[in-house]
Amino acid sequence: MTIRKTSQFQNFELENMFSDKDIVDFYKNLPPPLNNERAIFTLYGRNALFSVCRKIREIKPEKNQALVPSYSCGDEIEAVVHAGFSVIPYKINFNLQIDLPDLISKFSKRTSLVLLTHYFGFPQRNIFFIKKLCAKKGMFLIEDCAHVFGGVFKGIPLGSIGDASIFSLRKFLNIPHGGALVINNRELGSVQLIPPSNEAVLIDLLIFLGQKSRLFTKGTSIVKIYKQIGIESKSQHGPRLEEFGGYRLSLSNFTKFLIKKADSPKIIRDHINNFINCLNVFLYDINKNAKRKMKPLFSSLVDGVVPSFFPIIVDESLAFCFELNKRGFSFFQPFWSYFHKYVNWNKFPEAKKLKEKLVVLPLNDKINLEVVIKNFCQK
């Protein structure tokens, strides 16, 4: 299927449908720190990361090195590189916690930024210690909260600890796009963004609906999807809608309206309850799961954690996902299985193993999850 981009996209003024009254204080029903006026909302999470990294490069132009987690999807590292940094990966252990000695060993006089990821909403337990180290050495700490929505660690909302934090709201909300930047360190000042054009919003909405309705074949890369609608894209992990502003784009009025209508407390409760239900069902017959050589990555849910997905480790993850897809469960895939170019994967066996064996189950559909676990995982 090929769709050609035409001026017809400009004839429907979606962005102008919403008055200031429709979207005023749209963020107020979001969990902290997103419900604060200091939150800056972007089209994508990668836009937020790029923007704050550019600010750091301006503040410390002589320091162009960023430490990034080895286990990554590539989108976040691409944004850091586009902002002008040379990236140095550090080790992530198989339990998704930072290998502290390895991180510290990577510090240098050229380092001005450490990117720290709270995977699946589970906090990095050494974050306060890492924050002190960064402050002592004059480095900025950025929390990657792309998997966080309302999570708390030791009484403090995740995203409030680092010098800045970035979020990806579309991981939790049913929206076509949506990211956010929270700046906690006043030294970073603010960032300048541009609103997306009506055409850009409509194109992104078309892609979102096309993926939801399977208009685009499952697994089709964003580069190929863009090509089908007449847009050239240079990178799978780079900026979205580059010809319309890419990393500089702020959140659309359309999505602000959707966020204002979202029931954030219910979304948080559902994610927590569905995770617990999945864990209970999964662990019900551990012997059968052992025969399938699979286990949940986390065996419990700590208070304060709002999980984004239910991750399981599967020895034969590709075969497992293929089996699920044959049975109609089209949302399964080995998580972050793409081996992007910014990490020498032979030097990070733990991250490589995670890319090969980790499968995530969504937490927005309790019935589907229980059906999958009962009928497939335990066979």
Q: Could you tell me the CATH number of the domain that includes residue 297? A: 3.90.1150.10
- 96 lies in the same domain as 227: yes
- 212 lies in the same domain as 357: no
Question: pLDDT digits over 1-20, tens only?
Answer: 444 454 555 567 888 888 88
Which of residues 230, 262, 294 is at a domain's end?
262
Q: Is the pLDDT of residue 265 over 90?
A: yes
Q: Is the pLDDT of residue 330 over 70?
A: no
**DSSP annotation string for 28-87:** GGSPTTTTSTTEEEESSHHHHHHHHHHHHHHH-TT--EEEEESS--SHHHHHHHHTTPEE
- 2 lies in the same domain as 47: yes
pLDDT value for 2: 47
- 161 lies in the same domain as 303: no
**Total count of domains within the chain:** 2
What's the whole-number mean pLDDT along residues 93-110? 97
Per-residue tokens: 341: 């170019």
What's the whole-number mean pLDDT along residues 148-153? 98
377 pLDDT band (50/70/90 cuts)? low
- 296 lies in the same domain as 206: no
**DSSP annotation string for 217-249:** PTT--HHHHHHHTT---S-SSS-SSGGGTGGGB
pLDDT value for 256: 97
pLDDT value for 275: 93
Residue 37 or 268, more confident:
268
Q: Is the pLDDT of residue 272 over 70?
A: yes
pLDDT value for 6: 47
Which of residues 232, 262, 292 is at a domain's end?
262
Question: What range defines the domain where residue 65 resides?
Answer: 1-262
What b/e readout covers 128-139, taking b as 16+ CB neighbours within 10 angstroms?
Answer: eebbebbeeeeb
Residue 328 or 153, more confident:
153
Q: Kindly state the percentage of the chain with pLDDT values over 90.
A: 68
Phi first, then psi: give them for residue 167, nearest 5 degrees.
-130, 155
pLDDT value for 200: 93
pLDDT value for 13: 83
- 158 lies in the same domain as 285: no
- 270 lies in the same domain as 254: no
- 255 lies in the same domain as 272: no
pLDDT value for 71: 97
- 272 lies in the same domain as 360: yes
Range with top average pLDDT, 135-149, 204-218, 271-285, 327-341: 135-149
Question: By C-alpha distance, which of 326, 317, 319 is closest to 361?
Answer: 317
Residues for the chain: how many in total? 379
Calculate Rg over the CA atoms of the chain: 20
- 61 lies in the same domain as 135: yes
361 pLDDT band (50/70/90 cuts)? confident
pLDDT value for 332: 61
CATH number assigned to the domain comprising residue 76:
3.40.640.10
pLDDT value for 292: 57
- 170 lies in the same domain as 314: no
Phi first, then psi: give them for residue 291, nearest 5 degrees.
-65, -35
Distance CA 209, CA 21 (A): 26
Which of residues 237, 262, 287 is at a domain's end?
262
What is the average pLDDT score of the chain?
Answer: 89
What's the whole-number mean pLDDT along residues 184-191? 95
Instruction: Give yes or no for a contact between 345 and 367, defined as CB atoms under 8 angstroms apart.
Output: no
pLDDT value for 331: 59
- 256 lies in the same domain as 270: no
